[in-house]
Structure 1
Amino acid sequence: MHKSSARPRSILICSTVVSLTLGLAACNREAEAPVEPATPAPTPAPITVEAAPIVLDRAGFLAAVDAAVAAYASGAASTGQDTLVGRRFTIRQAFGCGGPLPSTAAVTDGLAGWTASDDGQTQRLTLTPADWTETALVAGEAPIWEAVEGVWLTRPWLRAETCPQVNPDQAPAGPAAVSSPQTVGLAAVFEPEGSRLDRRNGRAYSFTIRGEDDQPPPPHTGGYRLVLEGRFAAFPDGRAIRCRAASVDQRPVCIAAVQMDRVAFEDTDGSVLSDWRTG
């Protein structure tokens, strides 16, 4: 009786052990099964936005001139590509801050000025580009440029586009004031095969302001604005700015080679009085 009752119990125990063993083996196989790596999502291509070229203003250009002056005076050799070449500029400068000139004959080539008629009924704004083709700063470039017409940037120590606000009473006593020599300019260059229609050839940019209803123009204070727009070109050495000085004790005179696109006169409010465009 004892033997017959023990056999089923042993069979049951064995079956249980076998089932547990198979279950553990199955768990181990599941645990050991390699996990397929997740396919990474495609990385989107970076969006590149090309920065718009910065249009150089008066302050930016004069800062570049200061760097050119320092390099020239120290004898440092210019290396690398000149990033100024090809950049656009819009340069404004005030003129006529001291009032009208005595006559149109007093207007110097390369400088803007304004005069009033004898009866006070009109005001005439004038700029005649100077002929720099044979000057020392440009001499030797004739094979490249057939003509060079220049405009001076007055008061290069002033970054603002408005008239200076200096109180004359604060000036030290002494001889009558004499204007400083011009040391910074823009040289509009013209190649031999280029159009001749854009050259001034001694002709002035001129605009006349008239009053209304037979009344003279109102008194004008604060001067006017000369606007120069275009793109920087390069001298044969690849630089946009060239400096020269007759002595180590003189500030170098620097000019930039440019292709002029627009010249304009504005009033102190920024309203365009007249403009001229090339092309």
Structure 2
Amino acid sequence: MEVGNPEGLVGLAEMRIEAGDWAGAERFAQQAADAGELGGLNYMARKLAEAGDWGIAERFAQQAVSPGSANALSVLAEMRAEAGNWEEAERFAQQAADAGNLNGLLDLAEMRLKEGDREEAERLFHQAAEAGNPKGLAGLAEIQVMRKDWAGAERFAKQAADAGGIDVLAYVVESRVNTGDLLGAERFANKAAEDGEFEGLMRLAQMWADAECHVKAEQAFQRAINIGSPGALEGLAELRAESPEDYERYELDSEGALAEPWEWPEPRPRA
């Protein structure tokens, strides 16, 4: 095995781990790292953590840190959080963030939010947002929607969009709907659709359906279908009081109507 083939060395390290040969695995992982490939050290850190040897796992995770990359530390943070050890989880996430990797903080924030701890989630999202991360800003927008702080949701969503975030303008649409600015909601939903974001269109379609503007609701559902919304077909079927199962089975024709059931053509008779 040539030292110049770091991917192969990582593969050997993984095989040694599966065989229980930690010393051999470390040797191959270190050779790969010396050649610029940190995957072996990352893998060792994760496997050691799974085995409960957190001290050595952290050592390998620290060895695997490079400028802008601290994947192993982020993984350790997530694993500690899943075990309910939030203090250790945040310590690993902060180490990863200090090395330029904010994934650990964002994962922790999402987990906190799912558990209903909005204050802790907001604090972690703020920390990521202060580093210019659009996902942190999007998380703050989501929390403001939960609080029905529509102005705050819109402010953070716009900041996230400006920072390169995707799937965030739906929060602005939600804000405009709830403050009665229906034309503004439509404008932002259309802007989001130009970037391939369908959640705003789905909210817009529901808004028009609630207002019994079925033509506009259909148009919004159609646009959402065209850019890949998985729920738009069902929404359109329900709006038309037709079977969602048929819509999912046969989909729509070029005119937006339910297509005819497709049948296998009869075989041509032999000459």
TM-score, normalised by the number of residues in structure 1: 0.18
Larger strand proportion, structure 1 or 2? 1
Q: Which has the higher contact order (CA 8 A, sep 6+)?
A: 1
Larger helix proportion, structure 1 or 2? 2
Structure number with greater Rg is 1
